[in-house]
Amino acid sequence: MNTIQWQTAAWLAGFFVLAILQGYQLGIGDLSTYLAFVWHKFDPALLNNDLLIETLGDHPVYIWDAVALLLNVANVQTVFLGLFFLQTALMIAAVFLFYRQFFGENNGWLVLALTLVLGTSAAAMGEYGLNPYGYFHPNVVAVAIALLAFVLLDRGNWLSGAALCGSIFLFHPFTALYAALFFGYKWLLGFRQTTVFTKIGSAAIFLLISAPSWLPMLPKILAGAPPQFDVSLWLDLVRQRMRFSFFASQWVPDRWVHLGLAGFGLWFFRHHPAFRRLLPVVLGTLTALALFVLADVFTVKFLLQLQLARCSYFLFIVLCAFIAHKIATTNDSPKSPLIIWLLLGIVFMIENVIDDRTLSVRMIVLVGLALLLVYLFWRQPVHWQRIYLAGTLAAVLLVTGEKTIERIAETGRIFDTTLTTPWEDMQVWCAQNTPTDALLMTPIYIEGFRSFSKRPIYGTYKDGAPHNYSRKTIFRWWARMQALGLSLPWNRAAFPSLYHQHALSVARENNIRFVIYEKSIALPPVAPLYENQQFAIFETPALPDSSATN
């Protein structure tokens, strides 16, 4: 390797470290649902009487079968930490290769990568960046493979590019829909430049590889909702549980403003040599957004369920790449219109910083970057690109360092893989001291109890997301939530009091043996089987009959 290659490798390794230091945790967010699926795939006796597991047939993806196999060779903490490292490395490699393919060998990829280290909450929709979730998530892998697939298509490797696009359906269909649109527009726009064999072969391989995902769903899609399905109630539930993901009319105005800014920025770069080659990505994203709006206007249930706006951040990735290239290669002074792109780049980069819990760090970064722009604008130093890159890197180091220090102070660890919180402690106790098939009543407002207990639970509000795709469980789940006091529209702040008010009576009515209380809200009515500083678990058979109405 020559010096330049060593420097590139060092930068890539540095971005890997910065990305993983942004944070890692196991058993939270979407992963709390995925872990339940993994445990059941690993051992069908686990969680087999959990209502959530009944939704597996409505999610024809196969990644959790593969992850379950890994549990035969390592424990769950090691497997998911390793997968997190792999997805981060894959995302960094994809961003690097994507930029180099469309913008050449210059340092603009450094600006793009720095932007994506901090960018986790897209201004319009979804999670994006090098470490957007803080845990292993198939969406990150899907975005990386979509970028790599488009690189292959741009190089003329139609069969391999189509195969990669099709493979995304097997583990994250929402992102796969975007990849399919990118492939489709690339196929149409390049129709005259490809042979008949390439056109037919690439389309066939795409459909063949993706078939295990969409083919089982085709009869249900064609059949539509059965007559007894209460569509109006379903709409009320999804508006409450996933309104921003399903309904364009529920978006707050700033999402449309940011999309407008992204569209304006991309239009400005329409004469850039890379624009036409990236047009399928832009057109694919805009098509998905248009269908997202139409699904809301005409209330098309199937299109609503596709969450067609969740990957709109592809516009921001492409725009940031254009901005990064402009910054890295222009000979203009910062007093030119380039300052607009510097500002836009910062707007997209600091989205995660704006959401940061620590006000001091947020203000330091915002003020620091603003002062840097003022300095570049007025002083016009010769090496202003290097100064801008150094300032952006300083902002990344500041925020990453603050998060790392805070995490170490709270947990004593860089990677939160051990089970030390009271919530996790209660799960571990249940895994060791309750029957495998025991159904537990757990607080509906706290997610992830299945993650380490490996025990079925009555349900949580979080379960509403997968149930939205299941005709056979959605209303059963809602009946359970209603039994615990929820009504439409619900108020999340009221969940703790409602749960503790109704948990005992619901447990007795459904022969649920174990009930968990949060002690700061309500004390257990009998001596607990086990308790820690925050939670207690007790048995309903130990209660006198009169306790059922308490």
Give pLDDT tens digits for 309-352. 989 989 989 988 998 898 888 876 666 666 666 666 666 555 54
Q: How many helices (H) and strands (E) does the chain have?
A: 24, 4
154's tokens? 């741009």
* Residues 514/438, Cβ–Cβ less than 8 Å: yes
Separation between Cα atoms, residue 353 and residue 545, nearest integer Å: 53
Angle at 469 between CA 71 and CA 24, to 5 degrees: 40
Angle at 290 between CA 190 and CA 313, to 5 degrees: 80
Q: Which helix (H) or strand (E) holds 518?
A: strand 514-518
Residue 158 is predicted with a pLDDT of 96
Q: Strand 440-441 vs strand 514-518: parallel, antiparallel, or unpaired?
A: parallel
Q: Strand 530-531 vs strand 440-441: parallel, antiparallel, or unpaired?
A: unpaired
Which SS3 state, helix, strand or coil, does residue 531 take? strand
Alpha helices in 484-522 (DSSP H): 495-509
Separation between Cα atoms, residue 345 and residue 51, nearest integer Å: 45
Separation between Cα atoms, residue 109 and residue 94, nearest integer Å: 11
Q: How many CB atoms lie within 10 A of CB 112?
A: 26
Tokens 């009543």 belong to which residue? Answer: 441
How much is the pTM? 0.92
Separation between Cα atoms, residue 550 and residue 534, nearest integer Å: 21
Residue 191 is predicted with a pLDDT of 81
Residue 335 is predicted with a pLDDT of 66
With CA atoms as reference, report the closest residue to 97 among 175, 163, 184, 161.
Answer: 161
Alpha helices in 330-453 (DSSP H): 338-349, 351-354, 359-379, 384-411, 422-433, 450-453
Through-space distance between the first and last CA atoms of the chain, rounded to whole angstroms: 73
What residue ranges of the chain have pLDDT lower than 50?
A: 352-356, 546-550
